[in-house]
């Protein structure tokens, strides 16, 4: 009787052990998918793409067996978000996007192909960056700060213009606010990215460019570009000699932007936590920090709830600004 009971117990234990082993293998498989797609709405070689590729290297072997970057460009990042919206929330697809697609776009588009609050699951910040306001050969060398530029623009209205990476982008609004709040009509030229705008600036066809600091600093060695101000709360570490707008008396010109990571909607909390942990480790690694710094990006992670709060605050912040400027992308 005792022997049979022990045998039965052993058999049951073996069965339970096998079951636990199978569950463990299944959990491991879930914890480390075969492949992770990191989706960006912007072209290869740009800041968003570079961020994705740096992080993908770190997530390979830690979160997934492999991690690849997929560029789904178009509509200012909307196509990528729409694509990720339709993917299963199983941890194999991760979106990386500027936060303005979720905080500014709802104010400038009457209809978006996604619900910013419901169609993705916030996971973590990726990095933060400031904007620079730079002038080129069209603007005389004696223009050394923002007040000088405003005075020059008022005296030269036919040349008073600026370019930005896209209509409705944060740097577009930085330049528009500068003109509107200082009584000067700064005509805006929207480009497909900062670099085409910088090419026109360097060629003397554009007075100024409002764009990410890292997209501007790379042109400083030409000697043709002067950054008059940066948009952060403090001096930008990639342009430490340039005073901020606030330092120059323009207190309401403090604007930064973030890249962030999102899973599809309704991702399980355990999956969000696992992805967040993997991203935090990746974003803290020296090669990622140094790699992003070459583009003027400061690596920065967050908790999912911190990202949710940031998105909510920024959405509320931009509503009156967009209304004041009167810009709509549907016009």
The contacts of residue 39 (CB under 8 Å, 6+ apart) are 69, 70, 72, 80, 83, 84, 93, 94, 95, 96
Q: Where in the chain is the domain with CATH 3.40.190.150?
A: 36-129+257-325
Nearest to 262 by CA among 90, 105, 142, 84: 84
Q: Where in the chain is the domain with CATH 3.40.190.10?
A: 130-230
168-195 pLDDT, tens digit per residue, is 889 999 999 999 999 999 999 988 788 8
pLDDT at 158: 97
- β-strands 93-98, 256-264: how paired? antiparallel
**Alpha carbon distance 29, 94 (integer Å):** 17
Q: Where are the alpha helices (DSSP H) in the chain?
A: 2-31, 47-59, 78-85, 100-103, 105-108, 146-155, 170-180, 194-202, 213-217, 269-284, 286-293, 304-325
Phi, psi of 49 (to 5 degrees): -60, -45
pLDDT at 24: 41
What dotted CATH number matches 130-230?
3.40.190.10
94-105 pLDDT, tens digit per residue, is 999 999 999 999
What dotted CATH number matches 36-129+257-325?
3.40.190.150
- Please list the ranges in the chain whose pLDDT falls under 70: 1-31, 331
SS3 content of the chain, % helix, strand, coil (to 5): 45, 20, 35
């Amino acid at each position: 009787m005792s022997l049979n009971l022990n045998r039965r117990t052993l058999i049951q234990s073996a069965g339970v052990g096998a079951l636990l082993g199978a569950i463990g293998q299944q959990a491991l498989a879930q914890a480390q998918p075969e492949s992770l797609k990191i989706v960006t709405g912007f072209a290869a070689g740009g800041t968003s793409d570079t961020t994705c590729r740096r992080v993908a290297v770190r997530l390979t072997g830690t979160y997934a067996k492999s991690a690849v970057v997929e560029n789904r460009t178009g509509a200012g990042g909307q196509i990528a978000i729409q694509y990720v919206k339709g993917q299963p929330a199983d941890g194999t697809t991760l979106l990386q996007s500027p936060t303005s697609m979720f905080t500014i776009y709802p104010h400038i588009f009457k209809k978006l192909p996604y619900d910013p609050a419901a169609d993705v699951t916030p996971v973590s910040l990726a990095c933060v960056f400031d904007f620079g306001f730079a002038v080129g050969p069209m603007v005389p060398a004696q223009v050394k700060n923002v007040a000088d530029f405003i005075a020059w623009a008022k005296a030269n209205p036919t040349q008073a213009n600026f370019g930005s990476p896209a209509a409705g982008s944060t740097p577009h609004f930085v330049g528009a606010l500068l003109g509107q709040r200082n009584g000067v009509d700064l005509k805006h030229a929207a480009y497909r990215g900062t670099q085409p705008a910088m090419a026109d600036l360097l060629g003397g066809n554009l007075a100024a460019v409002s764009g990410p600091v890292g997209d501007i600093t790379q042109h400083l060695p030409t000697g043709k570009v002067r950054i008059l101000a940066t948009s952060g709360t403090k001096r930008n570490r990639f342009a430490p000699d340039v005073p901020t707008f606030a330092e120059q008396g323009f207190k309401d010109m403090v604007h930064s932007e973030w890249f962030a990571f999102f899973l599809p909607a309704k991702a399980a909390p355990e999956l969000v936590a696992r992805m967040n942990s993997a991203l935090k480790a990746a974003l803290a690694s020296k090669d990622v920090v140094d790699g992003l710094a070459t583009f003027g990006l400061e690596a920065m992670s967050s908790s999912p709830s911190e990202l949710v709060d940031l998105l909510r605050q920024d959405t509320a912040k931009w509503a009156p600004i967009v209304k004041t400027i009167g810009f709509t992308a549907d016009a």
